Amino acid sequence: MDTQTQAARYSAKDYKSAIKPIWCPGCGDFSVLSALTKALAELQLPPGRVAVVSGIGCSSRIPAYTSMYGFHGVHGRALPTAIGLKVARPDLTVLVTGGDGDGLSIGGNHFLHACRRNVDVTYIIMDNQVYGMTKGQASPTTAPDWEGSKLTPEGTGVNPFQPLAIGLAAGANFVARCFTGDPNNVAEIIVEAIRHPGFSLVQVLSPCITFRPEQKDWKRLVRTAPVEFTTDAARAARRLMTDDGFNVGKVLYKGSREPFRPDLGGSGATVADLERQFLR
C-alpha cells in the first residue's frame, strides 16, 4: 500500500499536524510531542507508514497532533488496538502513547499482557501521577498522601505502582525512563525504543502543571540514572524495586526475546481447500 516514491528527508515538523493542542500552557506533554517528532525525523520513517495509537486522557490526545496515522480509541484500550494493528500489519511502525491512568489503572491488564506478548510496538507512557483530563484525581502512580483530589481527600492510602518494575516482571523487553525536562534525551530514548525489536516500554515523567503544580520541582528531583542498562532481568528488577522513580535519562533493561509475529504467509491453501473437509 506504500505509494511513497520520493526520497525526501523529513524534518521534525513534518511529523506535526496543524491542530492546536488542547493542553494547558506549560504541560509536559508538549515536550513529549516534540521529542516524538524529533525521534521520527531521526529515524526518517515516512509518516504514512507510522501509526500512533492512544486511549483517553490529556496525553492520549497526541495522535491528532502528529501527521501520522492516528487512532484515538477508548480509555485504557490503546495497547490491544495497537497490537491488533501490528500483528495484522507487521510492515507498519506502531507507537502507543498515553497516560498513567489510561495505561496503569483502567488499562492495567493490557499493559501486563502487552509486556508478556512482546509484539513489536513502542509504548510511551506519559506519567504525571494524576488524571489530568478528568480534572485531577489520583492515579496508580500517585503518592498515598496526596490530598489534592476531592475524591480521595485524605490521600489514597495506597502505595504507588512502579510501572517499570511491573513491566519487567510481566516480561517487557525494553525498559527506559526519561523526563520531559530533557526532550532531546526523550527523543533519543524513543529512537532506541523504536529500533528495539519487541515490546518497548518508555516511562516519561511529564508534569501536569494544572493539577500537580508541585511537579515543577521534578527538574530538581530527577537525576541521570547512575547505571547502564542490563540484560539481566533479575538484576534490573532488583534495581527497580528499590528505585525512587527519579532515575531518568537511560535505558534500564534490554532483553532479547523474539517478538510475537505470527506468520501471515499462509500455506498456499485456498478457501476451496478448506471446504473439502465438509464434503460427504
Partner 1 sequence: MTAQTVSIALAGSGGAGVITAGAMLLEAASRAGWYAYMTRSSGPQIRGGEAAAMMRLSTEPVASHDDCFHLLVAIDWNNVGRFAAELPLSAGSLVVSDPEEGEAPSQIGASGARSVALPMKELAKSIPGGRPNMVALGAIAALIGLPEAPLLEVLQKVLKRKGEEAIQASLDALRAGMAAAKDYPAVPRLPAAETRPGTRWSITGNEAAGLGAIRGGVRFVAAYPITPATDMLEWMAPALAKVGGTLVQAEDELASINQIIGASYGGVPSLTATSGPGLSLMTESIGLAIASETPIVVMNVMRGGPSTGIPTKSEQSDLNIALYGMHGDAPHLVLAPNSVTDCLFTTQWAVHLAEALQTVAIVLSDQAMGQARAVIPRPAEVAFLAKREKPQLAAEQNYQRYAVTASGVSPMAIPGMHGLQYTADGLEHNETGTPSSHVADHTAQLDKRLRKLTAYNYGDHWADVEGEGETAIITWGSSTGPAREALRRYEAGGKRARLVSIRLLSPVQPEKFARALEGVIRALVVEQSHSGQFYRYLRAHYDLPRDVKALHRPGPLPVRPGDVLGELASWS
**Applying CB under 8 A, does 109 fall inside the site for a second copy?**
yes
**Applying CB under 8 A, does 260 fall inside the site for a second copy?**
yes
- Going by C-alpha positions, the residue among 1, 72, 12, 38 that lies closest to residue 190 is 38
Which CB, 74 or 143, lies closer to partner 1?
A: 74
**Applying CB under 8 A, does 38 fall inside the site for partner 1?**
no
Q: What angle do CA 195, 200, 201 make, to 5 degrees?
A: 140
Binding at 29: pick from Mg ion, ligand SF4, partner 1, none (beta carbon under 5-8 Å per type)? ligand SF4
Binding at 113: pick from a second copy, Mg ion, ligand TPP, none (beta carbon under 5-8 Å per type)? a second copy
The least distance separating a second copy from the CB of residue 170, rounded to whole angstroms, comes to: 6
Determine which residue in the list 56, 79, 138, 168 makes contact with a second copy, applying CB under 8 A: 168
* Cα distance between residue 23 and residue 132, in whole Å: 10
**Applying CB under 6 A, does 215 fall inside the site for ligand SF4?**
no
Tell me the per-residue interface mask from 151 to 190 with partner 1, x by CB under 8 A, - otherwise.
Answer: xxxx-x----------------------------------
**Applying CB under 6 A, does 210 fall inside the site for ligand SF4?**
yes
Q: What angle do CA 35, 37, 42 make, to 5 degrees?
A: 95
Tell me the per-residue interface mask from 201 to 230 with partner 1, x by CB under 8 A, - otherwise.
Answer: ---------x--------------------
How many other CB atoms are there within 10 angstroms of residue 183's CB atom?
A: 21
By CB under 6 A, the residues from 3 to 32 that bind ligand SF4 are 23-24, 27, 29
**Applying CB under 6 A, does 132 fall inside the site for ligand SF4?**
yes
Q: Write down the residue that cell numbers 483517553 correspond to.
A: 56
Binding at 128: pick from a second copy, Mg ion, partner 1, none (beta carbon under 5-8 Å per type)? Mg ion
Binding at 23: pick from a second copy, ligand SF4, ligand TPP, none (beta carbon under 5-8 Å per type)? ligand SF4
Q: What angle do CA 86, 87, 90 make, to 5 degrees?
A: 60
Which CB, 2 or 244, lies closer to partner 1?
A: 2
53 close to 102: Cβ distance less than 8 angstroms: no
Burial class (CB in 10 A: 0-12, 13-18, 19+), 110: buried
How many other CB atoms are there within 10 angstroms of residue 203's CB atom?
A: 27
Q: Write down the residue that cell numbers 492515579 correspond to.
A: 139
* Amino acid (1-letter code) at residue 64: A
